[in-house]
Amino acid sequence: MPTRVHFLACSPLLLLALLSPVLLIAEDWPTFLGPRHNSTSIETGLQVPWPKGGPEILWQTKLGTGYGIGSIADGKFFQFDRHGDQNRLEVLEVTTGNKLWQYEYPTQYEDALGYNNGPRCSPVIDEDRVYIYGAEGELHCISIKTHEAIWKRNLSEEFNVVPNFFGVGSTPVIFEGKLLVMVGGSPDEFKGLGPYQIDRVTGNGSAIVAMDKKTGKTLYKISDELASYASLTLAEIDGRPWCFAFLRGGLLGFDPRNGKIDFHYPWRAKKLESVNASTPVIVGDEVFISECYALGSTLLKVKPGGYEVVWKDEERSRDHAMETHWNTAVYKDGYLYASSGRHSHQAELRCIEWQTGKVMWAESGLSRSSLLLVEDYLICLSEYGTLRLLKANPQKYEAISEVFLEDQNGNALLKPPAWAAPILSDGRLFVRGDDRLVCLQAILPGK
């Protein structure tokens, strides 16, 4: 039987497990980008190369409207989508895809640009509770045991959030007894404004709201920034906890214990429609952020009370190191891998050197893609549904396998937009297209 782990940081147990060739580690995937918030898996035994038709399809299921992929804990897959005028959390048996139960609430959200009216955030699973955060700004805490709401809050109404172009898209995080949520509310004088007036809007001190995770009570709120679509992420640096929020106007670093702000680093293109949507990547005491509208990327070295810039792309230059859009870069042995480019036809899969931003290689023609790092390999999902297995090689683009998943009639299983990053739990690989979730056997039993 595999050893199942639930921790968020590297530990002696994990190091021992990674060094042991006979121990298979299976981990849950309880939130967006996984237990370490960085789209990496510690599971071993990946099938390389894939068979001609790709890894074995274990099961598949139709989904509602939404962009996000689910979360996994204790043998259950939690998927959050919209069905008609209801936002619905569906809980599936992870081994079969059979539906166990569901939770719904009504929604009237409409995307300002007509893209997608479903949720963007992944469920957040913590002990016997699951948290869902809808595009309209409703936050619900649901009991996994009773399938009913423990508490709920409409944060957009409470804090007067002026709607941005694509609604709420930042997945919250759990820190100790707190649920940290990106809100970005504004004073009442801005009520009634919409996305095309967002440049006139100021904040009301609710960029980040910390709540008691069991009761929903507000514990603290900080910053006058407005919200972005980048998810929050946690780290421990020199023995101290940190939370990083890549907000509409830049990166906020703060102490999640009490909300004390260490710094705000401005990083946002001047274009009204520009967004920050890529989750920060943390390695040691350094933080990488990236956007695709004008500025590109930058690397900061952080410390209590401040930061120093290690390197940054020059705004007026066309030669940026990396320009991530809604996807998040993954780190491996001193290098970052990510899809760079705002539009599909411009996108390149790139490898850059972490410490300098030097572009090691760039591969075009893959469209915008999302990555999952497993062992020494990148599982790469194109927004048009092509699934690739790549070697994480800083010297060159090295493709191992490629597959376009189809049903028995030759119909595509992953229709565009396939924007959610793949996830891996207990050897099973989960990928999402526009309207379907597919579960594949990425690690063969007994490997």
CA 364/CA 345 separation, integer angstroms: 8
Strands (E), 267-397: 281-283, 286-290, 297-303, 306-312, 330-332, 335-340, 348-353, 359-364, 369-374, 377-382, 386-391
Phi/psi class of residue 237: alpha, beta or left (left: φ > 0; alpha: ψ in -120 to 50)?
beta
CA 406 to chain centre: 26
Report the pLDDT value the prediction gives residue 12, as an integer from 0 to 100: 41
The first and second tokens of residue 344, run together, are 């599909």
Mean pLDDT in order along the chain per 10 residues (447 residues): 46 43 75 98 98 96 98 98 98 98 97 92 98 98 98 98 94 98 98 94 98 98 98 98 98 98 97 95 98 97 97 86 97 98 96 98 98 98 98 98 94 97 98 98 86
Task: Please give the domain boundaries of the chain with CATH numbers for all domains.
Answer: 121-228 (2.40.10.480)
**CB neighbours (10 Å) of residue 339?**
28
Q: Which segments of 129-231 are extended strands (E)? A: 129-133, 138-143, 149-154, 173-175, 178-182, 208-212, 218-222
Query: Cβ(248)–Cβ(184) under 8 Å?
Result: yes
Can you tell me the distance from the alpha carbon of 120 to that of 219, in angstroms, rounded to the nearest whole number?
25
Give the Cα separation of 126 and 344 in Å (integer).
Answer: 36
Q: What is the pLDDT of residue 4?
A: 52
Q: What is the dihedral of CA 142, 144, 148, 150, to 10 degrees?
A: -40
- The rounded distance, in Å, linking the Cα atoms of 413 and 434 is 9
Please report the pLDDT score of residue 16 as a whole number.
39
pLDDT value at position 318? Answer: 74
Q: How far apart are CA 94 and CA 45, in angstroms?
A: 20
